[in-house]
Structure 1
Amino acid sequence: MKKHLKAETMKRLKNFNKTLVSSAVLFATMTLVGCSATSSTAMDQGKYADGIHDVSAKGKKGKIILTIEVKNGHIVDIKTKSHNETESLYLNAERLLSKIIANNGHEGIDAVSGATFSSNGILEAVNSVPRRNGSQPAYAAVGSKEQSGDEDFKLKWSIQPQLGLLKGDYYYQEARFRQGHMGSVAIVTNSNNAKDVIFAEFNESGRPNYYTRLYQDVPKRMSEYNFSMGKKKGTAWVQSSLTMEKLMVEQDKLTFDLNPDFDPSLRNKLKEPNRLKYADIDVVAGASNSIQQSMVPLTAKIHAQINGDGTKQRFYQHAEKLNDAKGNWTGITAMLRIVVDTDTKQIVKAHYDEIFADEKAQIKDASLKKFYRQSKYESINYVEPARIGFNVMIDGLNAHLQQGGSLFLIDDLPATGDTGSYAATGFTKRSNSWDSYLNQAEILYKEMRQDGMINQHNKN
């Protein structure tokens, strides 16, 4: 009996111990899970107060206002609500927004070179986002770090043309300036109102004796020049041009008064208000010399022409995204421009180009991604599969049409057909771009015929 009771007691004790161990393990596990959940929750909470916050700070020329969205204490989106900064400089400073989101704050982020005041305005505004713990740390201004040679610099600009049809009265001026660079301005006005500027475009080609051979006689607007300048100086040539073009179109403004306080000794000092030759312009980066020495004087000549004899030339442009067989954009936009004489109804100028998307990710052909924000005509490094320069093809088209050739009968032009073995003779292959050109030509031809602005062109 005693032996049986002893065995039973031992059995119960063993079961009790097993239960005790299991409970301990369960408790420990629950504790760990609880700690993990608490830790995870704390981690997810972040440091900022959830919600959508409008915050502001002073830039160089006024208040910069940002709209910042916070979820679980983390900044998930930042948009510029308003600013009064120089547009080209602020575009550079906005490169910080993605860094701030990735960093969940402004701490440790440097200002963008050439846009220090705008950068600090953005960073200080972010510093004022409400925090969960109610603290408000003081903001300390930061300087910039030069990143020349950085292959992944994030300058932003767009070279995309206006899609669809654009037409009006055409004015054009060009002249060499500053050691031989060629500047040109094209202005298009409403045919029913000469004071209504609907299109402005400035371009510049490097002088023939440019110190960098790569850019001798090369147009800057849609070539690698902008990237080269961006890596060296933190700004792109085209950004200043885009700023001025937007000003001219939005304000119908083609003339600018001289700045009475202009000081030539300050021309290279970006922070000085009197470094610019003309008043009422706000270009202090990228192409300020080109704007002051070429664009503004040329548009002044056009302004005088508009208010004088006017023009006998009409401008037509059509731009269209090129899609693949499934209807998806390839990342290339086709654009055809034609200028006709309103008296003779003859084509006096023509230009066709294919323009790559602003971002690499938008270009479907992997081999073409490196040409983003460039065009086939102006790119230095673009290789035309037809085995001839794309610019040579289009210059041939322009000459063909100026000489009275048909928009559609182009078999005499380069790369309109296979002309032999390239390996044996160096002859060219047919370029697919001619098919895209013919589609745009058909669209513009119908429009010009309806307007009575072009003679009949044979198609067969």
Structure 2
Amino acid sequence: MKSLTLFKKSLLSTAVLVGTMTLVGCASSVPAGKYADGIHDVSAKGKKSVITLTVEVKNGHIVDVKTKSHKETESLYLNAERLLSKVLANNGHEGIDAVSGATYSSNGILEAINSLPRADGSKPEFVAVGAKDDSAGEDFKLKWSIQPQLGLLKGDYYYQEARFRQGHMGSVAIVTELNNANNVIFAEFNESGRPNYYTRLYQGVPKRMSEYNFSMGKKKGTAWVQSALTMEKLMVEQDKLTFELNPDFDPTLGNKLKEPNRLKYAGIDVVAGASNSIQQSMVPLTAKIHAQINGEGTHERFYQHAEKLVDAKGNWTGVTAMLRIVVDSQTKQITKAHYDEIFADEKVQIKDASQKKFYRQSKYESINYVEPARIGFNVMIDALNGHLQQGGSLFLIDDLPATGDTGSYAATGFTKRSNAWDNYLAQAEILYTQMRQDGVIVKHSK
């Protein structure tokens, strides 16, 4: 009996020892915690202030996170603060999107978490994120480019516009080589929605660099601008501004995309996304320009300069500045001017997380872009065009919207100078120098 008891104790001791060894073995295989233990105050810049969080870490894991201080807009920060529970559950900020409408505050929170001291001593670089619903939903598979040609472009200028099909406004700009009208070097078609368009957002809105292309693409599988780009490339590569009528045209086949006889003109069976716009607007307008080229010609000159905007380190911000000026070579006066800032074709190329949703759009044509100066970007540029058409200086623009700090949004509609004006002035200097060298513009005061 005694020997049996000793045997049982021996088995129990062995079991305990094996169990202890097993636990030790398991513990040694568990990876070290991600963060350094302790209570840490971490901070990062939000939109209006520094955001400071207090984070408690045990065994390498975040067990508590609270806001210690901030001076953000309270309503926006309350939205962004919802990320704290996600950080806690995720044990970090990786893979968490910003809260829509509170992108800056969200990134301040996530960057602060990124600065938590790591158990392995590493200091990973923080990459700003956008809201999950940026660009109005799921990833968009269609591809097109709206990027302008970089550098200087100049030539003889032709332009036609007219309303068509229920009131849409179509326009075509053609630039030919100086004194060589047979060489088309630039073609651009644009269209604005009719004033009574069934989608109110797109009433009077240019389609080329606005959200319209995404909206149409999701409905019909192709973006409007893709057709325009295809036709423009054809015109430039083949110096072609006129098209023969299709002798077998059958309008009843209009919706049959693979039927060549559905199109009014021969040789352009590549425009499924905007066949009505191409057939009823672009082709007739370019035919008018062709007639002008072979008739009275033009004395207007086109000058464009486009340049990628870079940060303090010389890296592209994902935004390209573009200035166009049309000048009458006889009167040497500006007849048309347009400045725009165009976002990159892909989200990843845009450094400012809050602006990623505007990819393949421009500040002027986007319906959702919010100008920090608290006034519409399109209003600023339309005012610039009017100013220059009336003989104003390219450089003395203090009478234009958002060219100075007013400190009174309620009274004036904006609160601070838009940095777009500084970008504009840089492009204006480049074009002005070239136009003066060419002798096509009067002297402008600086």
Aligned-partner Cα distance in 2 for 1:153–1:427: 34
Q: Deviation per CA, 1:9-67, whole angstroms, max 9, x where unpaired? A: xxxxxxxxxxxxxxxxxxxxxxxxxxxxxxxxxxxxxxxxxxxxxxxxxxxxxxxxxxx
- Asked whether 1:337 is paired with 2:324, we answer yes
Aligned to 1:435: 422
Contact kept? 2:176, 2:184, Cα under 8 Å: yes
Distance 1:263 1:425, change over 3 A: closer
Amino acid at match of 1:383: V
Judge which range, 430-439 or 280-289, deviates more: 280-289
Shift of 1:245: 0.1
1:265 to 237, 240, 252: 252
Q: Establish whether residue 255 from structure 1 lines up as the match of residue 251 from structure 2.
A: no
1:263 and 1:424 mapped to 2: Cα distance?
A: 58
| Counterpart-to-counterpart distance in 2, 1:405 and 1:215 | 32
Counterpart residue number, 1:305: 292
1:186-201 maps to which residues of 2 (within 5 A)? Answer: 186-201=173-188
Name the SS of the counterpart of 1:183 in structure 2. strand
CA–CA distance in structure 2, aligned partners of residues 181 and 195 of structure 1: 30
1:237 to 211, 218, 224: 224
Shift of 1:423: 5.7
1:420 aligns with 2:407: yes
Query: Residue 319 of structure 1: SS of its match in structure 2?
Result: strand
Equivalent AA in structure 2 for residue 200 of structure 1: A
Which residue of structure 2 lines up, in the alignment, with residue 115 of structure 1? none
SS at match of 2:368: coil
Structure 1 counterpart SS, 2:261 = coil
Q: Percent identity?
A: 89
CA shift for structure 1 position 424 = 6.9
- Distance in structure 2 (CA, Å) of the matches to 1:352 and 1:423: 27
The 5 Å alignment of 1:46-65 reads none
- Distance of 2:151 and 2:173 partners within structure 1: 19
Partner in structure 2 of residue 348 of structure 1: 335
Corresponding position of 2:397 = 410
Root mean square deviation, CA, Å: 1.1
2:215 alignment partner, one of 228, 236, 254 = 228
Which one of the candidate residues 136, 154, 158 is aligned to 1:171? 158
* Aligned counterpart for 1:322 among listed residues 306, 309, 312: 309
Write the deviation string for residues 195-225 of structure 1: whole angstroms up to 9, x where unpaired.
1000000000000000000100000000000
Residue type of the alignment partner of 1:306: I
Q: How does 1:79-118 map to 2 (within 5 A)?
A: none
Asked if structure 2 preserves the Cα contact closer than 8 Å seen for 1:318 and 1:336, the reply is yes
Residue 304 of structure 1 deviates from its aligned partner by 0.3
**Corresponding residue number in structure 2 for 1:64:** none
Contact 1:150/1:231 (8 A) holds in 2: no
Deviation at 1:151, TM superposition (A): 2.1
Asked whether the equivalents of residues 151 and 231 of structure 1 are also in contact (C-alpha less than 8 Å), the reply is: no
Cα drift, residue 426 of structure 1: 4.2
What's the offset of the Cα at 1:425?
6.1
Is 1:151 matched with 2:121?
no
The alignment status of 1:360 with 2:322, answered yes or no, reads no
Determine the C-alpha separation between the residues in 2 that align with 1:427 and 1:262: 54
For 1:210, the aligned partner's letter is Y
Separation in 1, partners of 2:313, 2:414: 33
Structure 2 contact 406–412 (Cα < 8 Å) conserved? no
Candidates 368, 389, 402, aligned match of 2:376: 389
Inter-CA distance 257–424: structure 2 relative to 1 (3 Å threshold): closer
Shift in Å, 1:236: 0.1
Mapped contact 2:230–2:271 kept (Cα < 8 A): no
Q: Is the 8 A contact 2:435 2:441 kept in 1?
A: yes
Q: Please name the residue that 2:196 is paired with.
A: 209
Asked if 1:219 corresponds to 2:210, the answer is no
DSSP 3-state at the match of 2:433: helix
Give yes or no for contact 1:241–1:291 (8 Å, CA) kept in 2: yes
Kindly provide the amino acid, as one letter, of the partner of residue 226 in structure 2: Q
Tell me, in whole angstroms, the C-alpha distance in 1 between the residues paired with 2:354 and 2:407: 25
Amino acid at match of 2:171: S
Deviations 1:215-251 (A, max 9, x none): 0000000000000011111100000000000000000
Answer yes or no: is the 8 Å Cα contact 1:270–1:284 preserved in 2: no
1:275-294 CA distance string (max 9 Å, x none): 00000113242111100000
SS at match of 1:384: coil
Deviations 1:141-168 (A, max 9, x none): xxxxxxxx96212110000000000000
Distance 1:254 1:196 in 2: 11
Tell me the matched-pair count.
311
Q: Is the CA contact (8 Å cut-off) linking 1:210 and 1:216 kept in structure 2? A: yes
Q: Using structure 2 for the length normalisation, give the TM-score.
A: 0.69
Helix, strand or coil at the partner of 2:330: coil
| CA distance in 1 between partners of 2:196 and 2:241 (Å) | 31
Where in structure 1 are there 5+ consecutive unaligned residues? 1-148
Aligned counterpart, 2:277? 290
**What is the deviation of 1:192?**
2.7
One-letter amino acid of the structure 2 residue matched with residue 271 of structure 1: K
Equivalent residue letter for 1:270: L
**What stretches of structure 1 move > 4 A for 4+ residues in a row?**
423-426
